[in-house]
Structure 1
Amino acid sequence: MDLARHSDLTEKEESQILLAYVPLVKRIVKQLAFQASTILDIHDIEQIALIGLLEAIRRYGKPDERFGGYAKLRIRGAILDELRNKDWRPRGLRQKTHRINDAVRALSRKLGREPFADEITQSLGLGMEEYQQYLLLESAKNMQSLDELLTLGTEADALISQGPEDQLINTDSMKHALATLEKREQIILALYYQHDLSLKEIALTLDLTEARICQINKIITEKIKFFYRNEH
């Protein structure tokens, strides 16, 4: 993580901005607690998030109306990077990951739809807890992929220097991408990105299991990836 200063902000100004955006940090930590709290202490998650915010401030400079969105990407990215870098999966699950992925694809072809959690666990003889751990890892990967896709395939830093014309093209392109999603999938994205709900809160809101929300997030990611592959 690059914490070198790329702006003219003083330490005092940085501290003031950090304090002003602490509520945003707390919202994102709460949002990602479902994925991260199984392997990271909540205090550690908050520290990682604050470092992500500090990096955002030093790269961006004085906040304007676009800084909040940029900071969200940086903070979420810092937490998800740490989660992905931790080899937290039980050894048996690490060995089964590819088999689970293959089984999910095979079941999808057989059923003509994305299989439900109980169908996957029955097919593989997995316990629900073990499958839940697998989903946590997949969820972390998918949420980071979604963050990258929703910045239209660019690095978050590119948002700083995009001109109005690029922003207009990107916004129009994303609208077309989101239009390919089903209504429920669009609602999940809105609850996550606009209302900062956690996966657990989204599951409660939509009367679905957390495992099902993880599955749908994976579907959303694949649909948006497919759109951009075919658009370009």
Structure 2
Amino acid sequence: MDIEKWKRWREGGDRQAEIELIEEYLPLVTYVATRLSMGLPDTVDKDDLISFGRFGLLDALKKFDYMRGLQFETYGMWRIRGSIIDGLRECDIIPRSVRDKAKKIEEAYTVLEQENLRTVTDEEVSEYLNISVAELRQTLLDVSFASVLSLDEPIQDDEEQKHSRQTVIMDERAEKPETALHKEQRKEILAEAIERLPAKERTVVSLFYYEECSLTEIAEIMELSASRISQLHSKAVFRLRGALNRSKDYLLNE
């Protein structure tokens, strides 16, 4: 990373240095938009994703702490991803019916896993929702797109304390008032929740969020159908959301 270029722009107001940094990292936008588009409906235009992502890149460049000697790419990609997801949400491309289904499933996992203190089965969730296992699995497919975005939704609706799960979980370098201790506690909550996931769901989470594989690529790696991977991903996300919901007061108020 060219620290001098960052200094010329951020400390000296060098417009040319700013342009060079934007041009240098602009391919990150295309990369993130392409990866995200693999899990989105065909009706979503990748050019729109790129447009949303550019705002995220500019925001990341302004907020990145270049003096810490860290690589910009990881921070930049999460900011770009967040900007794209914000843009998609503003376009309201997820039907209300799908959002309602997703909320009901999240409630089921939150309540049941709190009561049982373990991961619950499809049969238990189906019974709670008063539907068949086949209906549950079809619903998990129906809400699979919503679950791709769901970790970025606010933990609560209070405008003065609106923390997204992405910020709480992933964005460790953003400027926040929390102490390093609190950050570690948040990471521990997520890490413990991931460890409790069934093996296949844990693998999907690892490949999707950390290895940045598409759901189609994960299906090939795990030798399962794409629909099965979508179901596993949805279940994993709802379990993680449940864990974060159970820890909501701790995360926001400690």
**TM tier relative to shorter chain:** 0.5 to 0.7
In structure 1, list runs of 5 or more residues that go unmatched: 1-5
Query: Is the 2:150–2:237 Cα contact (8 Å) retained in structure 1?
Result: no
TM-superposition CA deviations, 1:191-227 (whole Å, max 9, x none): 3343222343334433342232122122123224434
Shift of 1:229: 4.0
Percent of aligned pairs with the same amino acid: 18
Structure 2 distance, partners of 1:126, 1:175, is 30
Structure 2 distance, partners of 1:141, 1:210, is 14
Structure 2 distance, partners of 1:214, 1:51, is 28
Aligned match of 2:75 in 58, 70, 74?
A: 70
Aligned match of 1:139 in 143, 148, 162?
A: 148
Which one-letter code corresponds to 2:146 in the other structure? L
Q: Which residue of 1 aligns with 2:167?
A: 148
For the aligned residue pairs, the C-alpha RMSD in angstroms reads: 4.1
Q: Which residue of 2 aligns with 1:20?
A: 24
Structure 1 position 115 matched with structure 2 position 156: no
Structure 1 position 30 matched with structure 2 position 34: yes
* TM-score using structure 2 length: 0.63
Which one-letter code corresponds to 1:31 in the other structure? R
SS in 1 for 2:120: coil
Q: Which residue of 1 aligns with 2:235?
A: 215
Structure 1 distance, partners of 2:121, 2:28, is 34
Structure 1 position 102 matched with structure 2 position 104: yes
Structure 2 distance, partners of 1:36, 1:138, is 11
Structure 1 distance, partners of 2:94, 2:240, is 24
Relative to structure 1, the CA distance from residue 192 to residue 171 in structure 2 (aligned partners, 3 Å threshold; closer, same or farther) is: farther
Structure 2 distance, partners of 1:177, 1:95, is 28
SS in 1 for 2:194: coil
* TM-score using structure 1 length: 0.68
Which one-letter code corresponds to 1:170 in the other structure? K
In structure 2, list runs of 5 or more residues that go unmatched: 1-8, 154-163
Aligned residues: 215
Query: Is the 2:205–2:233 Cα contact (8 Å) retained in structure 1?
Result: no
Q: Which residue of 1 aligns with 2:158?
A: none
